[in-house]
């Protein structure tokens, strides 16, 4: 019966700790700051808090004598934080790249029921009607800034020395595409000429694939194309190849159809009017959204998948770091058993001892978190990567983004590991009978 009660108590404690750690991870910074202020006031104003402060100072002063064991905790937690932050930085970078590809004052029109450009087909009559809808901005010549575009898949050799091929997105556009996306600038060579099999390539695609330099010829759709320029936009378009829409359509036998129509609106407020006009037109069966919403939705699934992978890997590594901290702190408590027993014999309560041991562990964890976050930022912030873009057919190039929010998340994970790793050794130290501790040494 006693064993069963002990087991149930231990199980209940583990559940409480798990719930507490989960709550800690999701707490906002201001809530954690409030907790830190309350804890500092407790240590300054109450007798038990001052006792905990005194015991903590003694423990921290002996850390240089336990440098090897302490390093195990610091290095283990630094590894957890570095891996976690780096994986999450992939999702953030991917999301930022797609988010920057859209805005509230531009819209994309797809065939009704299509969730992406590659699954959409619009005939020539529909694209003409869409371009005349109210709410569209006009250029200096009074022409609507509307860009009917065609997206197809193409394969090119990857620029990694493997000899394998990867999928790249080929976008057929007209002159309106440049007016619609003023952020897209030619950085080498020139724009393609209408009616010719010429391409301009994004800088991201140029990094990913072989032969995408001005003057080189490549094979697409069983035809030879000449690369004449390189453009940069800082968006997902950097992963694409652009050519004349009519030539792309002829090469891939798409006739006069297009996959989407991009438009620039008079203002963000004009979107509702534009969308309502298209919905009310009986000649059209289309879905309309701002490019900001469209690209945000395109990034959701991949971002969620990367986040889940990062958390799963982080949890697995965190479990290992917790065991490392447990072993270290149990050994520390064992070597300091006489010291702790003496403190309790002269009037120190159990709570200050528990807090002191846990603070020592969490200070080591904080150091590990800072080191891990710094490593992730130095090595991976701005690191170029690529993946298959959700809802598209091509490789999307993006840069990892180690943001302050991710570094804050890493620190919270580090402190949570330190909390769990120090809790059980701290409770053991507080419960160890004074007489037993003195006899053991």
DSSP string covering 249-284, please? HHHTT-TT-BSEEEEEBSSGGGHHHHHHHHHH-TT-
Which range, 68-82, 329-343, 425-439, has the best average confidence (pLDDT)? 68-82
Q: What is the mean pLDDT of residues 42-61?
A: 79
Q: Are 179 and 221 in contact (CB under 8 A)?
A: no
Query: Quick one: pLDDT at residue 57?
Result: 80
Q: Are 326 and 319 in contact (CB under 8 A)?
A: no
In the three-class reduction of DSSP (H, G, I as helix; E, B as strand; rest coil), residue 311 is classed as helix
Query: Quick one: pLDDT at residue 439?
Result: 56
Categorize the per-residue pLDDT at 394 as very low, low, confident or very high, splitting at 50, 70 and 90: low
Top pLDDT among 159 and 290 is at 290
Tell whether the model's pLDDT for residue 3 goes beyond 70. Answer: no
CA separation for the pair 206, 24 (Å, rounded): 44
Q: What is the mean pLDDT of residues 49-54?
A: 80
Q: Count Cα atoms within 13 angstroms, Cβ side, for 26.
A: 5
pLDDT in tens, 234-266: 888 888 999 999 999 999 999 999 999 999 999
- Find the range with the poorest average confidence among 1-5, 251-255, 356-360: 1-5
Q: What is the mean pLDDT of residues 12-39?
A: 72
Per the prediction, the chain carries an average pLDDT of: 83
Query: Quick one: pLDDT at residue 198?
Result: 96
Query: Quick one: pLDDT at residue 63?
Result: 72
Categorize the per-residue pLDDT at 302 as very low, low, confident or very high, splitting at 50, 70 and 90: confident
Q: What is the mean pLDDT of residues 132-151?
A: 92
Q: Which residue has the tokens 């069963």?
A: 4
Comparing C-alpha atoms, which of 310, 346, 320 is closest to residue 438? 346
Query: Quick one: pLDDT at residue 392?
Result: 47
Q: What is the mean pLDDT of residues 287-299?
A: 88
Query: Quick one: pLDDT at residue 1?
Result: 58
Categorize the per-residue pLDDT at 7 as very low, low, confident or very high, splitting at 50, 70 and 90: low
Q: What is the mean pLDDT of residues 112-130?
A: 90
Query: Quick one: pLDDT at residue 389?
Result: 42
List all residues 6 or more positions away from 107 whose beta carbon is below 8 Å from its beta carbon: 262, 263, 265, 271, 274, 275, 288, 289, 290, 291
> In three state form, how does the secondary structure of 189-206 look?
ECCCCCCCCEEEEEHHHH
- Find the range with the poorest average confidence among 11-25, 70-84, 183-197, 204-218: 11-25
Q: Are 198 and 244 in contact (CB under 8 A)?
A: yes
Tell whether the model's pLDDT for residue 437 goes beyond 60. Answer: no
Q: What is the pTM of this model?
A: 0.74
Q: Percentage of the chain surpassing pLDDT 90?
A: 36
Query: Quick one: pLDDT at residue 363?
Result: 87
Q: Which two tokens stand for residue 276?
A: 């309502």
Q: What is the mean pLDDT of residues 409-428?
A: 82
CA separation for the pair 389, 405 (Å, rounded): 24
């Amino acid at each position: 019966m006693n064993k069963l009660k002990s087991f149930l108590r231990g199980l209940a404690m583990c559940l409480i700790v798990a719930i507490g750690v989960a709550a800690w991870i999701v707490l906002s910074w201001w809530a954690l700051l409030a907790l830190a202020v309350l804890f500092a006031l407790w240590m300054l104003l109450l007798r038990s808090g001052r006792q905990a402060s005194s015991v903590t100072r003694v423990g921290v002063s002996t850390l240089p004598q336990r440098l090897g064991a302490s390093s195990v905790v610091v290095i283990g937690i630094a590894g957890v934080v570095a891996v976690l932050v780096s994986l999450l930085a992939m999702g953030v970078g991917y999301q930022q790249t797609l988010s920057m590809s859209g805005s509230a004052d531009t819209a994309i029109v797809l065939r009704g029921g299509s969730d992406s450009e590659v699954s959409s087909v619009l005939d020539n009559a529909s694209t003409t009607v869409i371009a005349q809808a109210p709410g569209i901005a006009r250029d200096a010549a009074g022409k609507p800034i509307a860009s009917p575009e065609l997206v197809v898949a193409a394969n090119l050799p990857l620029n990694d020395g493997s000899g394998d091929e990867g999928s790249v997105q080929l976008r057929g556009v007209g002159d309106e595409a440049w007016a619609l996306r003023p952020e897209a600038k030619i950085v080498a060579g020139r724009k393609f000429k209408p009616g010719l099999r010429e391409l301009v390539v994004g800088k991201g695609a140029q990094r990913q694939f072989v032969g995408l330099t001005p003057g080189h010829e490549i094979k697409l759709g069983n035809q030879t194309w000449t690369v004449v320029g390189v453009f940069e936009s800082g968006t997902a378009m950097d992963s694409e190849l652009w050519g004349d829409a009519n030539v792309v359509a002829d090469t891939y036998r798409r006739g006069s159809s297009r996959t989407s129509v991009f438009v620039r609106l008079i203002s963000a407020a004009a979107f509702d009017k534009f969308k309502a006009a298209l919905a009310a037109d009986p000649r059209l069966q289309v879905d309309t959204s701002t490019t900001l919403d469209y690209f945000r939705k395109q990034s959701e699934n991949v971002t969620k998948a990367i986040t889940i992978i990062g958390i799963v890997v982080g949890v697995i590594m965190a479990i290992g770091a917790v065991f490392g901290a447990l072993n270290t702190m149990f050994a520390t408590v064992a070597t300091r058993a006489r010291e702790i027993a003496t403190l309790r014999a002269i009037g120190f309560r159990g709570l200050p001892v528990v807090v002191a041991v846990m603070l020592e562990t969490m200070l080591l964890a904080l150091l590990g978190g800072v080191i891990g976050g710094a490593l992730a930022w130095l090595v991976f912030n701005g690191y170029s990567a690529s993946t298959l873009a959700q809802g598209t057919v091509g490789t999307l190039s993006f840069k990892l983004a180690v943001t302050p929010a991710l570094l804050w998340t890493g620190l919270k994970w580090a402190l949570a590991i330190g909390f769990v790793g120090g809790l059980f050794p701290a409770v053991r130290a507080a419960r160890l009978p004074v007489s037993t501790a003195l006899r053991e040494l």
